[in-house]
Amino acid sequence: MTTELMLVRHGETVWHADNRYTGSSDVALTDRGRRQAEELAGWARLARLDAVWVSPLARARDTAAAVSAATGLVATVDERLRELDFGSGEGLTAAEMHQRFPAARAAFRSDPVAHPLPGGEDPRAAADRGSACLADVTRRCPGQRVLVVGHSTLTRLLLCRLLGLPLARYRSAFPVVRNCAVTTVHWGGTGAAALVEYNVPTTVPTTVPTTVHAGCGGKEATP
């Protein structure tokens, strides 16, 4: 039995305007980011979710809080869903990295898995922890609909891992993960997943499932 995993990136943060690498840094949502979270909550109110899982970083938890308020679901915070740590690249733009460590930045661009940014987390380890978390979700929520609120780079790494793509392709295969857009995969916890949709805006659905499950975290969603 597969679980419907709905992967969502948090709302816009204060570092988005300059496209700064956020990673493990705890950066707040902007007013626009909070509006995006509310739009996600409006979508979630009719999406008949069974559970919500979320990264421990504040920008993700604040995004998920809007969903919890709209659905009555208590989000499960899981450390394994945190964003990739970019080491010396934290808080910098691509141009600033090129100025400070040009060789390392060039190596990262050529293969971001073999050559993570200086002092940064190994993307393979991040994919391992993230996929282990999603495997736990499928065991706890078989056949159910679970919203996972996380981050751009981890989501792209997870998509490569679940779909059987080389991790080194995460930047080229999935160049953009939009704030509060939904990427849906069906996965049974082992083997390859099925990609159902990618980067879908969170408009209010025109139809909703007829069945709501309980028992995999939080409480039953309200209609």
Residue list for the binding site for substrate: 22-23, 59
CA angle 197, 67, 198 (to 5 degrees): 10
User: Among this protein's residues, is 121 annotated catalytic?
Assistant: no
User: Among this protein's residues, is 151 annotated catalytic?
Assistant: no
CB count within 10 Å of CB 34 equals 16
Catalytic residue among 12, 83, 90, 121: 83
User: Measured between alpha carbons, how far is 131 from 193 in angstroms, rounded to an integer?
Assistant: 11
Residue 13's closest CA among 47, 59, 45? 59
Catalytically active residues, by annotation: 10, 83
